[in-house]
Structure formats: structure tokens, C-alpha cells
Structure 1
Amino acid sequence: MSIRTYKDAIDRLNTLQSNAATLEAVRASGGRQSEFAIPEMVEYLERIGYKQEDLNKLNVIHVAGTKGKGSTSAFANSILHHVKPDWKIAVRERIRINGTSLSEEEFAKYFFEVWDRLEMNDVRKFPQTPAKPAYFRYVTLVAFHTFLTLKVDATILEAGVGGTYDSTNIVPKPIVTGVSALGIDHTAVLGKTLPEIAWQKGGIYKEGVPALTVNQPEEALSVLKQQSIDRKASEFSVIPETPELADIKLGLAGVHQVQNANLAVHLARKFLQTQDGFQPTAQLPKSFIAGLENARWPGRCQIVADPRYHNTTWFLDGAHTTESLDCCTRWFVSPEAALRPTTGKRRQRILIFNCTSGRNGSSFLGTVLSNAAAQLKLYGSDEERDSFFTHVIFCTNVTYADGGFKGGTDIDLTVKNDLAHLKTQQDLATAWSSLVPSFPTQSIHVLPSIEHAIGLIRELASTRDGDGDTNVDVLVSGSLHLVGGVIEVAGLSDVAL
């Protein structure tokens, strides 16, 4: 048999229905597809040779929420790594072991082991079950298989867009479960009310397992509490504040990260109590503090100095809701980021932005601009909102100029026609012009790929004036896929991942 490569794995993966298409199918079915999600996922797990109970060996911290679950997972991972450096700690997001993603060779190996087992064991328990799971479910299966094969000591399992019916929710007995913030911004996107979303997220609570949550709106909190009762959780706790967090410089930037760090602290405490006999102390242990200070999560409030173009600094945040863009802008327009002192050279600020078709791009851009104005006033800057950015670039998530995508990128096949006509990007450009009528039209760019955008950045960064080189600050936001593509095309992988 010929060697099957990482590219072969990605080509196969991209033949599976995307997350976006799956969500649309669930909406169209009125939610009827959701009731089959867990039985189908268990069926796939059994077809690749595992029982549900095998997943308990992963020692899972399960996290759900609409905001902050990724940051919470990153903080929890870092805390455990600093407390137990000899442990093998896995994170489902990007399939990471001890903070490092699988190599391409490793990913291809585990990917095809799952693929081949599904091919060989094609007997269906449920007639409606597709031969292969959808994209996110398949990656989750690969993660489970990888972590069981490597016999990890702990697993941080971040739910996808759901909870109750999420593909990660087949672990019978996690060690501890937690729900991060539930934002109303997701209600329109998911077509659910806040109590309905709370019911979904509370679906990760399990019998005999501690059920934690951050403070939530009352209508959501009551639903989460009822879920913990109905699912017979060992306890339900709205976590108290950790006073020391006010004095810790967290590894993930932004004031909103304090709540996520706090949830991670409580999750890690519960986990270590159960797994390692950890006894909580009045003050945070030094190992917890070190974990919080050194937490990293690529693509979220991340500052990256370009390793080759020394006058260029990248500010990466895949914020894709109004609420997360609010946090992103408050982080970017601050003394630690775009308002930091410079050496007197001329500065250009460039926004690279995209959003999923169907989201309210005009509202998103309005959030960026209104928050920029508020932040400039807050810090006593004499800069104007309308001229804060010197260029704005609206490009697709297509990675390369020839139309190719970054390996592993989940692109909904139904948007290809939209990409071909750059409709979303044209709409964003029109919205920007409407919001900032004085903005020079020649500084608004609609481009067909990330590679085109990086090419323009390089061109603008090479501009010289009487004071020498121009400092270029580039904010990339609106889409995690966009951020991932920029990291690849701009050559930032070694310093950003």
C-alpha cells in the first residue's frame, strides 16, 4: 500500500459535510436531526473499536458555553501542565498534546486508522446513520482515538456549537464539567432563546459529576441548575471569584479573560482533588499562577511580531460575534496593543476582516468602530475613529491565490458561489463606506484570497518616507479560519502556534 500523506487525509476530510452545512440541516429539520446525534456518535465510536466507557479513561474536563470556552480550556490546560509537568495532557481543539499539535505525519496516521476502521466495519445500527460522520464529528473521533492510543493522563474537551447533542457529549463520566458565559449574541445565530441555549449547554452535566458555571443571566442560571438536578450532578456551583486574579498578568489578553481564568481555576481544583488528592489552599498555589500567566491560545487576542518583516506586528483574534468583537476592539485599541509607544516612525494600522455569510457584517464593523472611538477617548488619545485604520481589507477565507484552502480548513461547499462573486466582501466594503463616509475609497480593498491580502500588506509595509520605514500593525479578525490562513500564508506558524 502506498504511503498516505497529510494532504491525502485533508482531501478525505474535506469530502465530509461541513459544520455550517450540518447546522443548516438541523435548522431545516426543525431540530429533529439532533435527537440522532448522540446515538450516531456512539455507533461511530463502536465501529472504530471502542465502547463508550473507554472514554472515561481519558479523564475529561468537559467545557461548554457560547463565549470563553476556548480560553477556559487553554487556561485549564496550562494550569494542569504547570501543576503536573510529567502528565500527558490532551486538548481536543486542534488535537494538541502538551500544548503541541500533532505533526502532519501523526495526524495522517491516526486519521487513516479511523477511516479504515469505518470502511471495514460498515454495519449500521441505525439505518439513517451516514457511512461517515460530518467534519467536526470525524475530527472528534480522531481525537478520541489518538488520546486513547497515547494513554493521556487528562483531557480538556471543548464542546462544539452545542452541548446536549454535541459530538463530544458521549463521555459517560467526566471528572468535572463547566459552562462558560452564555451570550445573547448567539441566540440569533443559533435560532434559540437564552433558556434554550442554557438547556443545550447544561446537557454536558453528568450523574455523579460536579457541575460548575460562571455567573449567568437569571433566566439561563435557573435552567442550568435544573439541568444539574435532572442529570443528577454531584453538585451544582456558581463559582465564586478568585481575588488573586486581579493581580495576575494573564497569558491571554483582555479584561474578559478574568472570568474564563476563574472558571479554569475551579475546574482544575476539582479535577486535581479527584485525580491527585489535591487539597485547596486559601491562596492560589504558585503552579496555578504560573499556569495562568503562561497560558496561550493561538488566534485569540494574540500579538505576534513578524519573524521576517521586522516592522510588521500582527494582532490576531478570530472574534466572530458582536460580543467577542467588542472584547477584541477593547484589547486592540489599548496601550498594550495599537496605542503602545513607538520609536517615532510613521505607523499604519490595517484591518483584515471577513465574516461568515449570513452574519451581520455591518453590525460587526459598527461594533469595531464604536468601540475604537470609546477606547480612544478613554485613553485620552487625540486620534479620530474614522482615521484610526489607514487601510481595511475584506478578503475571503480562501487561503491561496490559486483558490486552494489551508489544510484542515472547514469550508462550507454551499458558499462557493458567494466566494466566486465576493458578495460578502463587497457587502462589507459597502458597509464600511457607509459607516465611515470620509474613508478614502482607494484604501478599502476587496480581495479574493488571504494570499492577496498578505501581498498587499507586504507592499504597504515596504513603503518608506522621510522618517524611514513605516511601522505596520495588522488586526486580523472576524473569523478563526481567516486567522488560521493568515498564520500560514504570512509564515507565522513557528511563532504563533
Structure 2
Amino acid sequence: MTKLQKPECESNGRPKAGDAQREKSLRDLVFYPQGKNCEQENDQDNAAYMAAIEVLTTLQPNKDSIRNSIDFKTNSIGLTKKYLFRSGLTLEDVEKLSIIHVSGTKGKGSTCALVESILRQYGARTGFFSSPHLQSTNERIRINGDPLVKPKFTHFFWQVYNRLKNSSENHDDMPPFFMFLTIMGFHVFIAERVDVVVVEVGLGGEKDCTNIVRNVKTIGITSLALEHTELLGTTLPEVAWQKAGIIKPYAHVYTHVTQAECLKIIYDRAAKQQAKVTEVLSTEAYFKYNHYSDFLDSCNDYIRLNGALAIQLAYDWLRQTKGHLHRDYAVNEAQMSAEVLRGLTQTHWPGRCQLVSFKNLRLHLDGAHTVESIRVCGDWFRKCTRQSQNPKILVFNRTGNSDTTAMLLVLQQLCDFDMICFVPNLANRNPMDPNQTALNCSTEEQLERTQLIARKWLEMCEATNQPNRGRMYSTVLDAFIDVRTRYPTHIELDVLITGSIHLLGAVITALDDFNIEVQPTAAAAATATDTTTATTATTTPTAATAAIKAAVSNGPN
């Protein structure tokens, strides 16, 4: 029998701690693995922050902004400059910041995180702007590696929002969600007097609203693949042209792009700006320096993939900066300083190749959302579970309209999963957390998308004569209730959660906000020991979808 217990909550919706020391939440473990408590703000701070987020979500959501870019060819650069000025900053104010700008398809966020961590080891005060957030919107704006504290987020939000609202010409004359946060981020970084700002491109590069700054001297372009084809183009050269749009005059451009047709575009666009392109070495080459090879085995996979690019971006900034932070490192030599080694190994980038143990679940969290990154995620999961005899569970979703066949094929070949859960990015059936409402599709669209993925999996299983162990669920919580019904809480599980960064946030919320207690009945015990019986008694995706829609329309049980 499964019991769902909703604990008494604080005003911020988090479970209330008792008189004894509060058990670490999954959010604590994901964001602060070294033991820092993420709930430092008081109830008043949290309530004020949530009020600001509620208003933020009234701005044009990402999905509408993206559609306008497609349908009406919106000039996002021009709009960003207009709203920046109305917010109280000039472009010249922003250009006093020292910025490292990074675009790409895969690994741009982790590359930025590595660069930021390295530069902190040299004593730099850092700002970091990234997207999307895992669970809370303030993760997008970081100071010295930590999400902007909620009181400061609230302060800057209202400062920028009120200025823009008071100068608007009509009700709709406000920047969309991402553009607003970009402008707000610049206000924060200027006020915080940071030495350097590491900026991750939101979408593409050429027309991304982070691309307003004209004097960026250090540019990174990570690996490229097809994505957002309706905006960026249907061929790799078209994607490369968009990504290389962040190259500025006389900039130093570093990349580990390997496709010849993409490199040609990057070199051509750099030549027009009189910028210099450097193709970085492998990360392994740096770890061979000074006998650091032993450290490589303990490094996360995103360090192996993006470490070399991050090192060269950090070295380039140190070469070009003045004052006590200046260093004269050679260009593209496999040299690794002690600061770089510490920066790489101490980088914490939540939700990317991250293993967290929580309530007898080994949660393998990775926001991989392309075929190439799913392969990397799969290799990492295989390595992590090589010696494990635990049942293996897959929780998967992929937002957007891209075909998931290739991604699902990688996962099908990766592991003979005991249970596969296809879910939308919805934690539970309660009203969505406003931090999660800026997604690119509605609840109905998410359920339809999840149904398509489950149906594709069924077709693949039938085509390869494999048992279909996949089921569709209306929420993440429903999936974990079913998981713990089949495998009671005394059984340790390896759970791979991948396909979407937003999915990881929904998992954190679902597992933190509810306590799932499963009584190991005879039926459940039989299910736990006989996975063949359990996995063959699955509902087809179409039938599951019908049941789910009925449950959603009827509300919570």
C-alpha cells in the first residue's frame, strides 16, 4: 500500500523542519553538496521573492518570444538595447564590464561554470549569467559561484521592473522573460562590482539578447549540433553561422568544434571581424602537464569534454586583464597551473553528470538534451553503475518539437532498464511553482509530447522484439510513487533522470515536497523480486494517456 504524505510547510512551500536538525533536502544535496544550507533566507525574504517571481512570469514567456522571432523576425538586439536604456543603463555602462561570452550547442553552460570557477581561484570576483535554471530563477544570476541571494534578487527585480513599467508606452511594452533577466543581470553585475562576467548565450548567438555588448574580447564556441532548427537553420553550417555571431572585432575566439564545414564558417566570420581563432587541445593534454594525470580519472565527464576550452578562455582573460590578476600564459600550450587544477576539480555544476544519494535512491542527474550529450550521459551512467546490482530505472522527457528517436535509441542500447518512466516536466498535480512556469509549452502540450515519446518507445520495442517496460505518467510524483510501489524503500535503486534540465527541477521539487512511504505488501514484494512479471504487465502508452487525462481532469485523488 502506498501512502502519500504532505508535510506541514513553511510559507515558501518547503517542508517545515522540526525542532531537531532538518534532514538535508534533495535541493541541499544537489546545489550545496559541501553542506551549505540553501534555505538561508527567512520567511519574509522567501515570500517577497516569490511575489517577484509571480510578476516576472506575467512577462511574455519564452515560447511566445521564440514564436515571435520566427513569425515576425523580431529584432531582439534592438529591443534589448531599448529596454536596457529605459531600465536606467546605457550600453556604454554595460560595456565597462569585462565579459567572456560563450555560445554553442553542447556544453556551453558547463564550460562557463568551469571558467568561472577557475577565475575565482585566482582571486577574481565573478559574475555568471546562465540559463535555464534547474529549480529556482535566481540560479541564473550568480555572484562568486552562488545564486544571487533572494533579497537581492527581489531588490533588483523591482528596481528594473518599475522603471520599465513606468516608461512603457502600452500594456504590452515590456521585455519578454529572458530579455528582462538579461537586463537585470547587467544591473546586478555592475552593482556588485565584479571583475569578470561569464555569459552563456541563451539561444543561438547572432540574435540572442546577450549579444548586445560590442567590445567582448574573449569568446568561446563549444561543440555544435542541430537544435532549434526553426530558428537557427536546418544544416550545421547555418547553426555555426548563428553561433559565430557573437564574435566581435579583434576578439580572441577559442573553440573545440570539429566539423570542417562549421569551422570554415567560424573562421570566415572571425576574419570579417579581424578576430583570431584558436582550436584548443584536448583536456587530457593539460592533465599530463606537471604529472596531474592521476586527477583526470576523478574528474566529471563535463571536465573531460570542456576543460581545455575553459582553461584557454580563463587564460585569455587573465592575459588581457590589467592589475594584480594579470598573467602572461602562453596561447594554447598544455600548461596547467595549480589554480586551474583547483578550479576544475572544485567546479560544481548542478544537474550535469551529477550523482546524488537520497532516501535509498542513487539519482543520476544529467540535463542532456541532444543525441551527442545523451551518449556522454549514457557512458557516464554505465561507468557509475558498472559494479551495481541495483534495479535500474529511467526517467525521461524531452521538451520541444525535435524527433527523439535517435536519443531513445541510445538509451535503449545503453541498458536493459527494469522500469522506464516517461513524464512531463510537472512535479505534481498542484499549481505549478512560478519558478517553473516559464517553460516553452503548456501542461496539455507537455502531456501530448510525453505521449508521443512513449508511443515512439513502444514502436521501437516492437520493431526490435523487446519487451516494453515504458509507462507514461501525468507527473513526476506519480512516476516515483509507482517506482516505490514496485520497489519498496528498503531496495536501493539506480535512477537515471535525463532529457531536460526542466525535468531535473521537477524531480527535485517532487521528491522534496512529498514523502513517499510504501508498505511492502506481498504483491509489491513479488514485483520487486520478479521484474519480468512487473515489466510485462505494463499499460500501453495510449491507454496510459487516456487514464492520465482522466485523472488530471478529475483533479488529485
Residue 13 of structure 1 is matched in structure 2 by: 56
- Work out whether residues 406 and 485 of structure 1, in 8 Å CA contact, stay in contact via their aligned partners in 2: no
Residue 88 of structure 1 is matched in structure 2 by: 125
Larger mean CA deviation between 478-487 and 431-440 belongs to 431-440
- Structure 2 CA distance for aligned equivalents of residues 360 and 147 of structure 1: 38
Q: How does 1:110-129 map to 2 (within 5 A)?
A: 110-122=156-168
Shift of residue 232 of structure 1?
3.1
**Paired residue secondary structure (1:436):** helix
Deviations 1:431-487 (A, max 9, x none): 22232346666x533221223234334444525xxxxx3221111111110111212
Shift of residue 112 of structure 1?
1.4
- Structure 2 CA distance for aligned equivalents of residues 457 and 152 of structure 1: 46
**Paired residue secondary structure (1:211):** strand
- Work out whether residues 9 and 108 of structure 1, in 8 Å CA contact, stay in contact via their aligned partners in 2: yes
- Work out whether residues 61 and 177 of structure 2, in 8 Å CA contact, stay in contact via their aligned partners in 1: yes
Q: Does 1:417 align with 2:444?
A: yes
Structure 2 counterpart of 1:449, one-letter code: T
- Structure 1 CA distance for aligned equivalents of residues 86 and 350 of structure 2: 33
Q: Percent same amino acid among aligned pairs?
A: 31
Deviations 1:307-361 (A, max 9, x none): xx1x211101111122211211121112xx122x34xxx6221111111142223
Alignment partner of 1:333 out of 378, 382, 390: 382
Residue 90 of structure 2 is matched in structure 1 by: 51
Shift of residue 74 of structure 1?
1.1
The structure-2 alpha-carbon separation of the partners of 1:120 and 1:89, relative to structure 1 and needing over 3 Å to count, comes to same
**Paired residue secondary structure (2:210):** coil
- Work out whether residues 393 and 496 of structure 2, in 8 Å CA contact, stay in contact via their aligned partners in 1: yes
Shift of residue 250 of structure 1?
7.5
- Work out whether residues 214 and 259 of structure 1, in 8 Å CA contact, stay in contact via their aligned partners in 2: no
Q: How does 1:91-106 map to 2 (within 5 A)?
A: 91-93=128-130, 94-106=140-152
Q: Does 1:486 align with 2:535?
A: no
Q: Does 1:148 align with 2:190?
A: yes
Residue 171 of structure 1 is matched in structure 2 by: 213
The structure-2 alpha-carbon separation of the partners of 1:186 and 1:263, relative to structure 1 and needing over 3 Å to count, comes to farther
- Work out whether residues 205 and 231 of structure 1, in 8 Å CA contact, stay in contact via their aligned partners in 2: yes
The structure-2 alpha-carbon separation of the partners of 1:91 and 1:394, relative to structure 1 and needing over 3 Å to count, comes to same
**Paired residue secondary structure (1:445):** strand
Residue 405 of structure 1 is matched in structure 2 by: 433
Larger mean CA deviation between 403-412 and 45-54 belongs to 403-412
Residue 253 of structure 2 is matched in structure 1 by: 211
- Work out whether residues 396 and 423 of structure 2, in 8 Å CA contact, stay in contact via their aligned partners in 1: yes
- Structure 1 CA distance for aligned equivalents of residues 127 and 487 of structure 2: 39
Residue 375 of structure 1 is matched in structure 2 by: none
Residue 265 of structure 2 is matched in structure 1 by: 223
Shift of residue 83 of structure 1?
2.0
The structure-2 alpha-carbon separation of the partners of 1:439 and 1:111, relative to structure 1 and needing over 3 Å to count, comes to farther
- Work out whether residues 178 and 213 of structure 1, in 8 Å CA contact, stay in contact via their aligned partners in 2: yes
Alignment partner of 1:24 out of 67, 74, 87: 67
The structure-2 alpha-carbon separation of the partners of 1:104 and 1:409, relative to structure 1 and needing over 3 Å to count, comes to farther
Residue 377 of structure 1 is matched in structure 2 by: none
Shift of residue 123 of structure 1?
5.5
Deviations 1:82-120 (A, max 9, x none): 122xx3211102111111112333222211111101012
Structure 1 counterpart of 2:456, one-letter code: A
The structure-2 alpha-carbon separation of the partners of 1:416 and 1:485, relative to structure 1 and needing over 3 Å to count, comes to closer
The structure-2 alpha-carbon separation of the partners of 1:431 and 1:408, relative to structure 1 and needing over 3 Å to count, comes to closer
TM-score under structure 1 length normalisation: 0.83
Shift of residue 186 of structure 1?
5.7
Alignment partner of 1:322 out of 371, 396, 408: 371
Shift of residue 252 of structure 1?
6.0
> Structure 1: 5+ residue runs without aligned partners?
373-384, 464-468, 493-497
**Paired residue secondary structure (2:438):** coil
Residue 495 of structure 1 is matched in structure 2 by: none
- Structure 2 CA distance for aligned equivalents of residues 314 and 348 of structure 1: 12
- Structure 2 CA distance for aligned equivalents of residues 92 and 251 of structure 1: 27
- Work out whether residues 400 and 440 of structure 2, in 8 Å CA contact, stay in contact via their aligned partners in 1: no
Larger mean CA deviation between 446-455 and 170-179 belongs to 446-455
Residue 329 of structure 2 is matched in structure 1 by: 280
Q: How does 1:70-469 map to 2 (within 5 A)?
A: 70-84=109-123, 87-93=124-130, 94-122=140-168, 131-184=173-226, 187=229, 190-233=232-275, 235-241=276-282, 243-245=285-287, 247=293, 248-249=295-296, 253-254=300-301, 257-275=303-321, 276-280=325-329, 283-306=335-358, 309=359, 311-334=360-383, 337-339=384-386, 341-342=387-388, 347-370=390-413, 372=414, 385=415, 388-405=416-433, 407-412=435-440, 415-419=442-446, 422-437=447-462, 443-463=469-489, 469=490
Structure 1 counterpart of 2:255, one-letter code: T
- Structure 2 CA distance for aligned equivalents of residues 433 and 43 of structure 1: 49
Larger mean CA deviation between 202-211 and 237-246 belongs to 237-246
- Work out whether residues 348 and 390 of structure 1, in 8 Å CA contact, stay in contact via their aligned partners in 2: yes
The structure-2 alpha-carbon separation of the partners of 1:409 and 1:286, relative to structure 1 and needing over 3 Å to count, comes to farther
**Paired residue secondary structure (1:398):** coil
- Structure 2 CA distance for aligned equivalents of residues 280 and 24 of structure 1: 44
Structure 1 counterpart of 2:429, one-letter code: A
TM-score under structure 2 length normalisation: 0.75
- Structure 2 CA distance for aligned equivalents of residues 314 and 98 of structure 1: 27
- Structure 2 CA distance for aligned equivalents of residues 76 and 349 of structure 1: 34
Structure 2 counterpart of 1:249, one-letter code: L
- Structure 1 CA distance for aligned equivalents of residues 155 and 111 of structure 2: 29
Shift of residue 182 of structure 1?
1.4
Deviations 1:398-439 (A, max 9, x none): 2222242362442235x34324xx222222222222323466
The structure-2 alpha-carbon separation of the partners of 1:408 and 1:99, relative to structure 1 and needing over 3 Å to count, comes to farther
